[in-house]
Amino acid sequence: MKNSNNEKMKPSDKTLKKDNKKVFLQSKFQFGEALKQLDEISKTQDRLPEEPFPNEIVEHLKLNSYYDDKKKSPEKVSAPKGFLPRINLDHNRPIAKGIMHEKGVSLIDEKNSDLTHFPSYLPSHLGVKSVLSTVSRKFRSGVTPMENKIQVIGANMDMFPWSCIGRIVVYLDGKSIKTGTGFMVGPNLLMTASHVMPWEHDGKCSIVFTPGYHPHYEPPFGSTTVSDWYGVPHDGFWDIVFQSDASDIVICRTNDPIGNICGWLGTKSFGNHDKYFNHFYNSLGYPDFANGYPTCEFLATIRDVDGDKNRRELETENFGGPGWSGGPLFSFIDNDWRAVGVCHGFETEFVFGIPPWNTNLVFAGGKWMVDLVNYGYNHYNY
């Protein structure tokens, strides 16, 4: 999706007032309906944990270093089944490898080609909280709208579905070079934006994912690392500004099945693009302007949908920013918590005669997203 220069005739003041009043009334009605729906979801879905928290596994996931047989170590530590052994020494992170999708090659077998969704997973040791408490909206001095309003999560993110969303940090030679957002979609399946991945340093970086990350609290589930990822390479900055591309999604394999501990979101695509407008959505990310805090948007609506059913570009109000990339756009759909898109970047509409601040946030979605999850289950899942 490229930026376009749209020249529009200036409407009369009377017409503008009438249109603005109509939009205001529609927005007020939609927001009221959304609050009712959210209240109903909270009443039927919110609950406390039903089983004890797996503290032993989480303590293992908090250890700093992965055990490496090639290096001398006091002793090899035991690990829960399916988890890589770790030791409490200096950081030793596995290197991640990217696998590029070849154009024209099918992601999945024909027998699975009609799949349009995957379910979420809610561990019994987690509670459910449809809306987490937030710090009152803050105002910052900034040029763009996204810098002027922030809703920061004020609670420990150990409640589902927020528990399976987290912060990604990419390290090169021990130094952080990139950050972003990601979310679990399977036991060891992590989804994020392609441009968050270090394609330019492939095979040289380590990638750490911390679900439920909050700088005021100890990570409730520890962290894991990425062993490899699959998708279409993206170049980063220029793609965000000029080329909003619905293929900006990757599926990653994590070294530990941390999704069994923090849960995971389901995924969903609609064949009919009008159905995207029938829901209200939430999103959470770790934008740079929030200084590492998890920031959320509740009750977001779709403004526009571009592309075909295979690769959708879902546009919302621009509430994000760098660092939010890879965050999910999700809702309670078909009695399940499902993501419909992955944060890609923004699209700016240039209107003749006024500054170009009509900016939408773009989420990559469609069947491509679901097919990547399908690919992960076929090639990466334990």
What is the biggest distance separating any 2 CA atoms in the chain, rounded to whole angstroms? 79
Strand ranges, E, within 53-151? 65-66, 86-87, 97-100, 117-118
Delineate the domains of the chain, giving CATH numbers in brackets. 4-50+96-379 (2.40.10.10)
Q: What's the CA gap between 258 and 375, in Å, rounded?
A: 19
Residues in CB range of 185: below 8 A, 6 or more apart: 118, 191, 251, 259, 264, 265, 266, 267, 339, 373, 376
Q: What tens digit of pLDDT does each residue of 52-102 get?
A: 999 999 999 998 888 776 555 545 567 888 888 888 777 788 999 999 988
- In which band, very low, low, confident or very high, does the pLDDT at 238 lie, cut at 50, 70 and 90? low
Q: What's the CA gap between 238 and 243, in Å, rounded?
A: 7
Q: What tens digit of pLDDT does each residue of 277-291 get?
A: 989 999 999 998 888
Of 324, 217, 220, nearest to 263 by C-alpha is 220
Q: What's the CA gap between 365 and 247, in Å, rounded?
A: 8
Q: What's the CA gap between 299 and 318, in Å, rounded?
A: 13
| Contact call for residues 85 and 71 (beta carbons, < 8 A) | no
Reply yes or no on whether the pLDDT at 13 is more than 50. Answer: no
Reply yes or no on whether the pLDDT at 140 is more than 90. Answer: no
Q: What tens digit of pLDDT does each residue of 224-236 get?
A: 999 999 999 886 5
| Contact call for residues 361 and 329 (beta carbons, < 8 A) | no
- For residue 191, count other CB atoms closer than 10 A to its CB: 26
Tokens 């803050």 sit at which residue?
A: 138
Give the pair of three-digit tokens for residue 210: 């911390």
Query: To the nearest whole number, what is the mean pLDDT of the chain?
Result: 82
Of 46, 27, 47, nearest to 280 by C-alpha is 27
| Contact call for residues 221 and 211 (beta carbons, < 8 A) | yes
- In which band, very low, low, confident or very high, does the pLDDT at 33 lie, cut at 50, 70 and 90? confident
Q: What's the CA gap between 63 and 79, in Å, rounded?
A: 11
pLDDT at 328: 98
Q: What tens digit of pLDDT does each residue of 337-381 get?
A: 999 999 998 877 665 555 555 688 999 999 999 999 999 999 987
